[in-house]
Amino acid sequence: MEIRGAAHALVQAWARAQEARDVERLSDLFLRDPQPLVTFSDGERVKDWLDVRVRLQRDIERHLIDRVEVHDVLVEPLEGGTALVTFAYDISVRDLWGTAVTATRLASVVLVDTKDGLRIAMAHFSAPR
């Protein structure tokens, strides 16, 4: 699969893993070595795969994710089997009391082609103000 198609597939896999609340699948999308650099929408930055996994677990335990809809995906292939991907997504969640909220978020990720397929080497998730 060419890198544009593979990048779109990875973004969709990320969205489906969010909806499934599957920390294993989510964390496997991130590069392990060298370590990924990730900035989450609340501004917290992590620089280690295990920290990414712990943060994903914490986020998933806080909310019940009903739906993640990805849109406006742009893929820019770079040299050496890498790609820059930007996208917006609408995430619909319920808190522990059942209060539903839908928010639009923005993401930019750098993907690296590995022997296991594309992995997220760097990510920035943000909430528009």
Look at domain 3-126 and name its CATH class.
alpha beta
The pTM is what? 0.89
- Per-residue model confidence as pLDDT tens for the chain (129 residues): 699 999 999 999 999 999 999 999 999 999 988 888 898 888 889 988 989 999 899 888 877 889 999 999 999 999 989 999 999 999 998 877 888 989 999 999 999 999 999 999 999 998 766
* Kind plus residue range of the DSSP H or E element containing 61: helix 49-62
- Identify the bridge partners of residue 124 per DSSP, sorted by sequence position: 39, 108
